[in-house]
Each structure stands twice: as structure tokens, then as C-alpha cells.
Structure 1
Amino acid sequence: MSNIQIEQHAFVLHSRPFKENQQLVELLTENEGKVSALVYVGQSKRSIKKGMIQSFLPLKLIYKGNDSGLKRISVIESTGNSYALSKNRLYCGFYINELLVRLLTNDIVCDGLFQQYQLTLGSLANNLPIAPQLRQFELSLLAELGLSFDFSPVLSNTSDNIVGFYYIADEGFVPAYNYSIANISTPWFKIAHLRAIAHHIIHGAALEQHEAEQTFKLLMRNVINHLLDGKPLNSRKLFEKR
């Protein structure tokens, strides 16, 4: 990559101290996806740049790229107020940030996901119901990773012997037969719940049943855990400690 200056709108996903009064930051940028960059913040506790390195604050910055893939930020400024998140909604913000850090590859354009990220933060800050916002963000992230659900086995099923479906990574929905579920420990999902989720994703229909929302949450957790190779998310521990 040539050593040219690039201007970007961005959000800080994660940061940590680096040598010589620098911070190493993981950013979600509008036009280049996830980016790793260094920013010199100086020694002063009142450093303006240091004050900008915070989550959920919309930024405009200029950085220089180089062949190693690590950028150096020269200009950083806010373009608006930080999204005000607290309690569970703050934990949700940390959750989506951690998903992006852990699952996105650097320097891959994902402008649609950037827009969805802003929409999700705005919805959380405006106290809209949490679960639908997280599921929509997770779906957008999966789409960016080239993944989607094929509900055709669920929607086309007419057998009385099938009581639900398992979701197997890399295989999709597999029938759960009424004569075998007592001997299998793998969690399975009810057909009615999966059909409601399918209509929600495909047609935008509302998920009116709490049980269907819970199934949707467990289904997404199944997929995300597979993508993480079973490694736990630190942000989930915040919910467990509340």
C-alpha cells in the first residue's frame, strides 16, 4: 500500500497503550472496513487526541497507510456527540464492538455494515428494544462474512415425524425426528419458531412471540460461537456479572 493520506469517518472499536505515548486502535471505518492504526497521544492527561480515543464517538480522521498494513493517524476529530449508552445497552455496545474486532478481516470494504453499526448504536441510545437491534446487527455481520440461513428445509417440511430442526454449522438445518430427540443432547428448535424467524428475516414480519425471540437468540449464538471457534466473548461476561 502506498504511503498516502486517507480521510475516513470511523469509530473506535478497541484501543490499548503502545510504546512512546502512542495508542494502538482498532477502527471501523466507512470506506476501508476494520483498520488497525497507531495514534500519538502525547504525555499530557489532557491530550485532545487521547480524549478522542473512546468507544461510540463518531470521528473523522486522516491517516497514512504503509506496506505493513498498520496506519498512522495524523488528524482526529469528532463529528458529533458520543452515543449515550448505559447499563445493558452499554454492554451491548461492547458486544458488537468485540464481534467486529474478533470476526472482521482488516482492510475489507464493508460500508453497509458501517451504516448498520451506526443505526444499531442510535437505536440502543434511543432505548428501542434491545433484542431486535442485536439480531439485525448480527445478521448484517454474517452477511458481510458471506453467511446466511437457508430456511427451505424448515419451510417445506410436511412430515409429522419431524418436531423441529437442529442447526449444524456448515450443514444448515437438519431434521429432529420425534423418535430420536430423547436420545440426542444437541439442542433443537421448534418448527413454528424457525418459521417465524424465517418470515422475519425474509419478509420483515415482526417476531411477536417471546419464545421465537429466544430461539432466534440461541440460533445466532450457535452460529457466532462456531465462528469464534468456541472461544468466549469478554463482553458476555458483563451480562453474567450484572
Structure 2
Amino acid sequence: MIEQSAFVLHSRPYRENQQLVDLLTEQDGKVTALVYVGQSKRSIKKGLIQPFLPLNVILKGQGSFKQISQVDTLGKSYPLIKHSLFSAFYINELLIRLLTEHITCQQLFFQYKTTLFALSQGEEIAPQLRLFELSLLEELGLSFDFSPVFEHDVSYFHYIAEQGFVPVYSNANTFSKNSALCFDKRHLQAIAQREALYQRASTDELLSEDKVTEEVSYTFKLLMRQVINQLLGNKPLNSRKLFANKAYS
């Protein structure tokens, strides 16, 4: 029996008075567990099996199928509304779709809590999602190697799975620099240095400070979407539909 902090990612009915729950736990990573919630509509356990509520759970059982024998709250649910709520559903779906079960990922668990807190405080959404996506990719062993964007004297790069950033030696007139498959070297360098998240970009002769920041953020979103879509097998995420015209993910 293991007692640990956890968050509910998703739950669904299983048998009478039972639910199957996908958890992100501090010690065991992603776990699917069975919980008996009882018959009453006011069941305490049923009320606690909710996303974005910090929990303390005790899991019992051997093998891949465990049971939640005890669950208590560790605090109030994170107050998420509108696009912050949609963003939280987005990161939950990423974890469900991409994480392997029963692999400890404490750093990702910490980043998950940090992201929920930032979203609940009204922080800018896009940078928080990019940070979480980076943490998830690192957990999956897919962190970026940005060294080519500093070593090659070209203006644009492609990102190719299992190869990384590949310089584009074509004439600038033969492709659109706004293509999702072609990334501006300056933007990639800013991303590598985390300037896109933490500080304003420097002005230059071509772009204003605001425009550089906006375009760097857009490049970052396109890069992460390309990589994540490949990991998902190009099967769309349901949570992206929630964003309507404000596609942060």
C-alpha cells in the first residue's frame, strides 16, 4: 500500500458504484485505478474524484491494476475558468495519451502542479503550456538539441523527427518563411534561451520588439504542435476543440 499525492486526470464509470480513474501520482507516475464510490449521490469519494483537486491517495494491489483504498483532499481545487480551464484539460489529455503507466516522473508531477497554479492565477497561457510541453517531452526522452541553430549560417530550419533541426539551404524565394515546417533561426535561438517565455525580445532593423516576441511565441507553438502531433500519430486531441479561435495549444 502506497500513500502519495495525486491528481485525477480522467474518470469513467466501470461497474455498479465503481469508477476507473486515471491518476497522475507523485511516486508512480500515471496510474489507472479502481475506486468504489458508493450508491449515494453525496458520496464523499465521488465528490473527490474530480480533476484539478490536489489529493492524497492510498493505492493497494499488485500488478498494473490497483485500487484506491483511501482518498483525501490536500487543499482546495484550483480555480480555473474559461481558457485556463480548457488549457488544464489539454495538459490532462496529453498525459493520458502520451505517458506510459507506472513510471515515476516526479519532475513532471511538480511541473503539472506549477502549471495549474499559474493558470489559476491568470498567468499568460501560452508560455505556461510551452513550459509544460517541454517538461513532458523531456520525460519522454525527446528534449530538443538547439545547437544546430547556433552553428549553421542559414536563416531557416526544418525540424525532422529523429534528426532534429536541419538547416534549409534553399533560396528564400522558394518557400514561405511562415510555413509550419520552416522555422526562423532567430526565433529558435530565442526559444533555446527561453527569451520567448521570460523577457522581451531585443529590437532589430526588421521587426519591432512586440513583433519579435509575437512571432517567437508563434514559432514555439508551431514547433511544439508539430512534435506533439507526431507523437499522437496525428490523431487530434479533443481538448483542442475547446479553444475555438484562441488556439494556445
Using the size of structure 1 for normalisation, the TM-score is: 0.91
**Paired residue type of 2:221:** K
Q: Distance in 1 between matches of 2:28 and 2:200?
A: 34
Q: Give the structure 2 partner of residue 198 of structure 1.
A: 192
Deviations 1:163-190 (A, max 9, x none): 3001111111111224276268772011
Q: Give the structure 1 partner of residue 166 of structure 2.
A: 174
Which of 91-100 and 180-189 deviates more?
A: 180-189
Deviations 1:75-101 (A, max 9, x none): 111010000100000000000000001
Contact 2:180 2:223 in 1 (8 A): no
Q: Give the structure 2 partner of residue 91 of structure 1.
A: 86
Q: Distance in 2 between matches of 1:186 and 1:125?
A: 30
Alignment gaps of 5+ in structure 1: none
Q: Distance in 1 between matches of 2:159 and 2:173?
A: 14
Q: Are 1:24 and 2:20 counterparts?
A: yes
CA apart distance, 1:73: 0.8
Q: Distance in 2 between matches of 1:62 and 1:12?
A: 14
- Identity score, percent: 59
Q: Give the structure 2 partner of residue 60 of structure 1.
A: 56
Q: Are 1:71 and 2:75 counterparts?
A: no
Q: Distance in 2 between matches of 1:239 and 1:183?
A: 30
Contact 2:152 2:167 in 1 (8 A): no
CA apart distance, 1:41: 0.5
SS in 2 for 1:177: coil
SS in 2 for 1:236: helix
Mapping of residues 190-229 of structure 1, within 5 Å: 190-200=184-194, 206=199, 208=201, 209-229=213-233
Deviations 1:104-148 (A, max 9, x none): 000000011111100000000001111111111111111111111
SS in 1 for 2:76: coil
SS in 1 for 2:116: helix
Q: Distance in 2 between matches of 1:207 and 1:230?
A: 33
Contact 1:163 1:178 in 2 (8 A): no
CA RMSD of aligned residues (A): 1.9
CA apart distance, 1:28: 0.3
CA apart distance, 1:50: 0.3
Mapping of residues 1-242 of structure 1, within 5 Å: 5-67=1-63, 69-158=64-153, 162-179=154-171, 182=174, 187-200=181-194, 206=199, 208=201, 209-240=213-244
Using the size of structure 2 for normalisation, the TM-score is: 0.88
Q: Distance in 1 between matches of 2:140 and 2:191?
A: 20
Alignment gaps of 5+ in structure 2: 202-212
SS in 1 for 2:194: helix
Q: Distance in 1 between matches of 2:31 and 2:139?
A: 16
Contact 2:156 2:183 in 1 (8 A): yes
Q: Distance in 2 between matches of 1:181 and 1:51?
A: 59
Contact 1:13 1:28 in 2 (8 A): yes
Contact 1:12 1:57 in 2 (8 A): yes
CA apart distance, 1:225: 0.5
CA apart distance, 1:61: 1.0
Contact 2:35 2:67 in 1 (8 A): yes
Q: Distance in 1 between matches of 2:197 and 2:30?
A: 29
Q: Distance in 1 between matches of 2:139 and 2:151?
A: 27
Contact 1:199 1:205 in 2 (8 A): no
> How many equivalent pairs are there?
233
